[in-house]
């Protein structure tokens, strides 16, 4: 496993961690000034600024783009809406290409409103991902499926485990060769509890399908299912062990901080969030 101490250039900051307090231009400068090697921006931050402008500023700041967040949910109540979702994702993939993102992060969605048909949501996910993959290959962008904790299976993600994500990768891209275009993102918040995690990370590594690694912590108690993630070291996740599995599996990309924390960290100044994250990356991750 890599030694992160004094090596913040191996780490990425997901801009959501900073609570969208500043325009993307200021966010880029702050992350670069704090010494991080990479950034993962969100689509909502690029609504007012041309993607080319943001891409140039990130490059000029010396930052890599670890990922681009995130996909529009795929499953829909109608075929028309499903196709619109895929089109929306194709446009985002084009932006990811301009940014030079290491991957486009896919949070896949789940049951459309009024539906109880989880199997159908997963069928739509498989079809939609295959459609997106053709476009992503042409654009030179890798797709990174991020399985979410099963507590989000009702709305945010019908993809709940690393195993399930890899099954989907193998179904859609059965013979990827040495450089797959479809892979996964391992976020400790979503998969730390999984008894199969170690084996599935090894399986992903053998296929070279680990495209991202996200860190934060699981607080006990967790007061909000979405917006109460902890700073690394403040919860119960054994982050070094999981990072060891991921890096032993061949992952050499960024260790990315991604914390949604509406009532705690998002209330603090950006500089403090960046500094504390930097310290924890080097001491407890
Ligand atoms: Zn994540």
pTM for this model (two decimals): 0.97
CA of 71 to the centre of ligand 1 (A): 12
CA of 215 to the centre of ligand 1 (A): 8
pLDDT per residue as tens digits for the range 170-194:
999 999 989 999 999 999 999 999 9
- Short-list 100, 93, 103, CA closest to 62: 100
CA of 137 to the centre of ligand 1 (A): 23
- The H or E element spanning position 7 is none
CA of 91 to the centre of ligand 1 (A): 21
CB neighbours of 274 closer than 8 A, spacing ≥ 6?
13, 18, 30, 31, 34, 36
Share of the chain above pLDDT 70, in %: 100
CA of 258 to the centre of ligand 1 (A): 6
CA of 165 to the centre of ligand 1 (A): 14
Mean pLDDT confidence for 81-102: 98
CA of 147 to the centre of ligand 1 (A): 9
The dihedrals phi and psi of 280, each to the nearest 5 degrees, come to -65, -35
Share of the chain above pLDDT 90, in %: 100
- Short-list 266, 269, 246, CA closest to 258: 266
CA dist., res. 168 & res. 165, Å (int): 5
CA of 189 to the centre of ligand 1 (A): 8
CA of 187 to the centre of ligand 1 (A): 5
């Amino acid at each position: 496993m890599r030694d992160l101490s004094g090596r913040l250039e191996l780490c990425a900051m997901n801009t959501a961690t900073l609570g969208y307090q500043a325009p993307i231009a200021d966010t880029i400068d702050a992350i670069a000034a704090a010494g991080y090697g990479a950034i993962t921006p969100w689509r909502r931050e690029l609504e007012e600024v041309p993607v080319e402008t943001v891409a140039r500023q990130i490059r000029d700041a010396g930052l890599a783009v670890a990922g681009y967040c995130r996909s529009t949910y795929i499953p829909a109540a109608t075929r028309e809406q499903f196709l619109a979702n895929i089109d929306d994702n194709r446009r985002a993939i084009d932006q990811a290409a301009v940014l030079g993102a290491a991957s486009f992060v896919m949070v896949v969605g789940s049951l459309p409103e009024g539906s109880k048909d989880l199997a159908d949501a997963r069928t739509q996910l498989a079809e939609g991902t295959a459609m997106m993959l053709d476009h992503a290959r042409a654009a030179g962008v890798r797709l990174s499926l991020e399985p979410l904790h099963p507590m989000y299976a009702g709305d945010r993600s019908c993809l709940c485990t690393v195993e399930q994500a890899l099954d989907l990768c193998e179904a859609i891209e059965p013979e990827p060769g040495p450089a797959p275009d479809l892979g996964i993102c391992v976020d400790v918040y979503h998969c730390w509890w999984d008894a199969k995690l170690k084996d599935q990370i090894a399986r992903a590594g053998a296929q070279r399908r680990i495209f991202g690694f996200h860190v934060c912590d699981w607080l006990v108690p967790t007061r909000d299912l979405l917006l109460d993630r902890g700073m690394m070291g403040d919860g119960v996740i054994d982050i070094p062990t999981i990072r060891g599995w991921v890096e032993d599996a061949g992952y050499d990309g960024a260790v990315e901080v991604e914390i949604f924390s509406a009532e705690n960290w998002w209330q603090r100044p950006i500089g403090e969030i960046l500094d504390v994250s930097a310290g924890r990356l080097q001491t407890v991750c």
